[in-house]
C-alpha cells in the first residue's frame, strides 16, 4: 500500500481513452504518448487491452519493452476480462516491463449479469475467484474491478470484494461505470467496503469515474477523502461516452487545495499542458476552449475589469499560474471588453510605448474595430498605430 497521504495516478488514456470515438491512435502515437505519460509522472500506465487485437497486443508489448524498462518507469498494465485467454494475453504483453500489473474485471450488477453475461451471482463469484487467482500466478500485482459497482447490490458487492481479495487482488477498483453516482454516495460505498470487507484496509482501493453527469472529478475527490489511494483518469478527460475523470483537473485540485486535500503525488505539473497538446495532435479533437486547466480559455482574460486586476496582481483572478502547468502564451484576450490598461500593456509587449494622448486615439479606434470584428490579432493592433500617427499629426 502507498503511504496514507499519497495518491497514485493510474492513467488510462491509452486504454479507456483510446477506445472512445475519435480517439483511436496508431502504434507510433501510442508509444509516443506512453513516453510522455511516463515523463509526466503517472504511477500506473494502462497501456491497452491486449486481447482486443493484434495491434493492441503489439502496442502494449512495445510500451512494456521501451517505457517499462526505463529508470523510474511507471507500472505497466493491460486490461483483461475475467477470462483465461484475456489474462494469458495480458501477462504475455506486459512481461518485458520491470513493474507489471494485470487488471481484470467482471460485471457485478444484476442488470449486467442478466442482460450482458447471462450468469448468476454465484457463477460470477466463482469466475472472479478463479480468474484473479490465475492472474496472480503470472503477476504479483493484480487489480480487480467489479464493473458497474455503483449499481451493484451493496450486500453482493461486499461479497465480491471479499472473494477478489481472498483470491489475491492487491488493488480493488470500484468503478462508476456509467457516471451515475453523486459524490457522497460514491464515498459511502468505499467507506462501507473498508468497514465490512476483511482485508480491504491492507490493499489499495481505486476510483474509476465516468463523466456522464459531469461528476467524474468530484466523485474521484470524494473517494480520496473516503480512503481511496488510487485514481484512474485520462489526459483531457477522454474516454467512453462523456469521458473519464481528467488527470489534469485531479492533479491541479491536489495542488491548489492542499488546505483541504493534504495528499502527495508524483505528477510533474509543468508537463501537463505539453501532454495535453501531444494528445490533441494524436487524436481527432482537442479539449473544449473552456476546459479547465488545459482549454484555450483556461487562463484567458477578456473583461476589462479582470484584465486590470490580473495586470495589477495575477492572484486577483488566477488561483494558479499558467506557468505552473507548463502553459506559455498570451492570457489577455483583446476585444471589446478590454480596457485602456490592457491595450497599453499589449502595445508595450509589442514594443510600442505610447503617450497618454496617443493611447487615447488608438483606444478609440480599437473599440470601433472590436464592434466590427470578433477576433482581434496582434497585427490588427499594430495596424491601428498608423491611424494613431495620422490622427496625431
Predicted local confidence at residue 303, as pLDDT: 54
pLDDT of 390: 46
First and final C-alpha spacing in the chain: 74
Look at residue 364 in the predicted model and tell me its pLDDT. Answer: 86
Phi, psi of 301 (to 5 degrees): -130, 120
Q: Which of the residue ranges 19-23, 58-62, 175-179, 223-227 would you say has the lowest mean pLDDT?
A: 19-23
Question: pLDDT averaged over the chain?
Answer: 91
pLDDT in tens, 62-109: 999 999 999 999 999 999 999 999 999 999 999 999 999 999 999 999
pLDDT band with cut points at 50, 70 and 90 for residue 230? very high
The torsion angles phi and psi of 46, rounded to 5 degrees, stand at -80, 105
Summarised one tens digit per residue, pLDDT across range 297-352 is 777 655 555 565 655 676 665 678 888 899 876 565 667 777 778 788 778 877 78
- Residue 273 grid cell: 499542458
Alpha-carbon distance of 206 to 175, in angstroms, equals: 8
In CATH, what is the architecture of 8-282?
Alpha-Beta Barrel (3.20)
Nearest to 154 by CA among 195, 93, 99: 195
- Residue that wins the pLDDT comparison between 314 and 367: 367
Average pLDDT over residues 217-230: 98
- State the average pLDDT over residues 12-36: 96
Which cell numbers hold the place of 304?
A: 476589462
Q: Are 10 and 41 in contact (CB under 8 A)?
A: no
pLDDT of residue 373: 80
CB-based contact 237:249 (threshold 8 Å): yes
- Confidence band, pLDDT 50/70/90 cuts, at residue 381: confident
Set of cell numbers at residue 131 = 480468474
Q: Would you list the domain boundaries of the chain?
A: 8-282, 304-392
pLDDT value, residue 393: 45
Q: Is the pLDDT of residue 387 over 70?
A: no
Cα–Cα distance between 384 and 199 in angstroms, integer? Answer: 71
Which residue reads 509589442 in cell numbers? 350
- Whether the per-residue pLDDT at 175 is higher than 50: the answer is yes
Rounded distance, CA 146 to CA 344, Å?
A: 58
Q: Residue 185's pLDDT is what?
A: 98
Question: How much is the average pLDDT of 255-271?
Answer: 97
DSSP for 352-365, written as a single string: ----HHHHHHHHHH
128/348: higher pLDDT? 128
Angle between helix 27-40 and 272-282 (nearest 10): 170
Amino acid at each position: 500500500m502507498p503511504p496514507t497521504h499519497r495518491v497514485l495516478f493510474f492513467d488510462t488514456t491509452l486504454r479507456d481513452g483510446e477506445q472512445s470515438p475519435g480517439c483511436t491512435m496508431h502504434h507510433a502515437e501510442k508509444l509516443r504518448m506512453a513516453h510522455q505519460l511516463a515523463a509526466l509522472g503517472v504511477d500506473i500506465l494502462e497501456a491497452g487491452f491486449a486481447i482486443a487485437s493484434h495491434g493492441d497486443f503489439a502496442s502494449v508489448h512495445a510500451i512494456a519493452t521501451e517505457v517499462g524498462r526505463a529508470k523510474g518507469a511507471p507500472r505497466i498494465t493491460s486490461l483483461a476480462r475475467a477470462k483465461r485467454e484475456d489474462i494469458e494475453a495480458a501477462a504475455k504483453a506486459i512481461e518485458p516491463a520491470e513493474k507489471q500489473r494485470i487488471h481484470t474485471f467482471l460485471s457485478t450488477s444484476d442488470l449486467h449479469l442478466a442482460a450482458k453475461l447471462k450468469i448468476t451471482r454465484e457463477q460470477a463469484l466463482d469466475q472472479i475467484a478463479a480468474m484473479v487467482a490465475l492472474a496472480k500466478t503470472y503477476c504479483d500485482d493484480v487489480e480487480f474491478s467489479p464493473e458497474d459497482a455503483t449499481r451493484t447490490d451493496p450486500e453482493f458487492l461486499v461479497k465480491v470484494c471479499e472473494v477478489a481479495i481472498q483470491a489475491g487482488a492487491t488493488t480493488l477498483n470500484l468503478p462508476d461505470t456509467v457516471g451515475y453516482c453523486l459524490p457522497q454516495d460514491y464515498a459511502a460505498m468505499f467507506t462501507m467496503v473498508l468497514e465490512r470487507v476483511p482485508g480491504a484496509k491492507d490493499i489499495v482501493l481505486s476510483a474509476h469515474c465516468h463523466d456522464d453527469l459531469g461528476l467524474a472529478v468530484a466523485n474521484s475527490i470524494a473517494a480520496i477523502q473516503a480512503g481511496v489511494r488510487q485514481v484512474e483518469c485520462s489526459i483531457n478527460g477522454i474516454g467512453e461516452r462523456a469521458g473519464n475523470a481528467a488527470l489534469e483537473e485531479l492533479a491541479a485540485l491536489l495542488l491548489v487545495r492542499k488546505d483541504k486535500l493534504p495528499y502527495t503525488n508524483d505528477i510533474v505539473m509543468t508537463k501537463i499542458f505539453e501532454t495535453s497538446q501531444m494528445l490533441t495532435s494524436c487524436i481527432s479533437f482537442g479539449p473544449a476552449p473552456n476546459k479547465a486547466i488545459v482549454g484555450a480559455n483556461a487562463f484567458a482574460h477578456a473583461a476589462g475589469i479582470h484584465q486590470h486586476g490580473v495586470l495589477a496582481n495575477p492572484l486577483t483572478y488566477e488561483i494558479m499560474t499558467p506557468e505552473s502547468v507548463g502553459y506559455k502564451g498570451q492570457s489577455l484576450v483583446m476585444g471589446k471588453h478590454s480596457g485602456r490598461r490592457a491595450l497599453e500593456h499589449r502595445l508595450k509587449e509589442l514594443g510600442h510605448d505610447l503617450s497618454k494622448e496617443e493611447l487615447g486615439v488608438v483606444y478609440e479606434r480599437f473599440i470601433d474595430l472590436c464592434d466590427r470584428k470578433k477576433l482581434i490579432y496582434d497585427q490588427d493592433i499594430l495596424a491601428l498605430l498608423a491611424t494613431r500617427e495620422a490622427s496625431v499629426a
